[in-house]
């Protein structure tokens, strides 16, 4: 089956433009704020230990001990990864009004671990491919882009997910590249402009520290739209592959 790029874009938007999408976007925003504040607090505390007054560092930080701030930063990153799993399951399942309870609990720990490992493996493969030549890096990115969706939606381990993503994307690398290019250019441009503008306005009105916080969080909900588009492309190809397989078996 050939990927329909237009359908993936419009279908992805429909998967996100509903109650569940709004709830997940707000959750991303809240966790993103917690992560930023904890990370900057740890950074400012680390710098201040070298003798630099923390008041001179215009970052959104609170007075937390270094260990506590670092722990909160790590835990909030884990929570963001967990939320990504829930979002993928929700968008792949096509749920608009409520999120099934099992999406929060089904093999949660195992899937979370495999999700982290999949992200590391994906990053290494793309990095190595890019070091060799730019094109293999792009191919690797496109070929393995559905790895996290197989881990979250199908509860696969990261090795199986890498293999299944490779097989599912074969024959659609060009159209997936086109889809991802559109997503990166359009969503990246919109979120980037909003980030810069909000940083300038908020920074001028309420201080540079708050401007930095707003700049770093305003783009987070756009990642939900990216997940919705990938979920639609994934279900297109997966269901098309299943239909082809079923037809072959009947023959």
| pLDDT tens string 28-75 | 999 989 998 999 889 888 887 776 665 666 777 888 899 999 999 999
Q: Which two tokens stand for residue 53?
A: 């007054």
Cα dist from 170 to 11, 120, 241, whole Å: 22, 22, 11
Does the pLDDT at position 250 exceed 50?
Answer: no
pLDDT at position 147 = 97
Q: Where are the domains of the chain?
A: 5-106+168-245
72 CB-side CA count, 13 A = 21
pLDDT at position 248 = 33
pLDDT at position 243 = 65
Q: Confidence band (pLDDT; 50, 70, 90) for 3? A: very high
Global pTM reads 0.88
Q: Confidence band (pLDDT; 50, 70, 90) for 246? A: very low
Name the residue with higher pLDDT: 233 or 49: 233
pLDDT at position 188 = 82
Quickly tell me which residue has 């001179």 as its tokens: 56
Does the pLDDT at position 199 exceed 80?
Answer: no
- What are the pLDDT digits (tens) for 108-134? 999 999 999 999 999 999 888 887 767
pLDDT at position 82 = 97
């Amino acid at each position: 089956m050939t990927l329909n790029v237009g359908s993936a874009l419009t279908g992805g938007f429909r998967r996100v433009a509903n109650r569940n999408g709004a709830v997940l976007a707000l959750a991303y925003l809240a966790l993103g704020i917690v992560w930023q504040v904890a990370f900057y607090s740890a950074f400012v505390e680390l710098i201040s230990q070298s003798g630099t007054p923390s008041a001179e560092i215009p970052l959104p930080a609170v007075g937390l001990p270094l260990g506590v701030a670092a722990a909160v930063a790590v835990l909030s990153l884990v929570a963001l990864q967990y939320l990504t799993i829930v979002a993928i399951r929700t968008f792949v399942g096509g749920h608009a009004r409520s999120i099934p309870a099992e999406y929060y609990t089904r093999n949660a720990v195992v899937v979370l671990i495999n999700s982290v490992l999949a992200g590391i493996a994906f990053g290494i493969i793309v990095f190595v491919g890019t070091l060799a030549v730019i094109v293999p890096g792009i191919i690797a990115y496109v070929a393995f882009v559905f790895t996290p969706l197989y881990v979250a939606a199908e509860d696969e381990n990261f090795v199986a997910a890498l293999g299944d993503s490779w097989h599912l994307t074969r024959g659609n690398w060009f159209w997936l590249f086109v889809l991802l290019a559109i997503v990166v250019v359009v969503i990246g441009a919109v979120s980037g402009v909003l980030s810069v503008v909000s940083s300038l306005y908020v920074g001028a009105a309420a201080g540079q520290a708050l401007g930095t916080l707003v700049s770093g969080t305003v783009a987070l909900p756009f990642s939900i739209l990216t997940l919705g588009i990938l979920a639609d492309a994934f279900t297109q190809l997966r269901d098309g592959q299943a239909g082809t397989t079923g037809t072959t078996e009947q023959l």
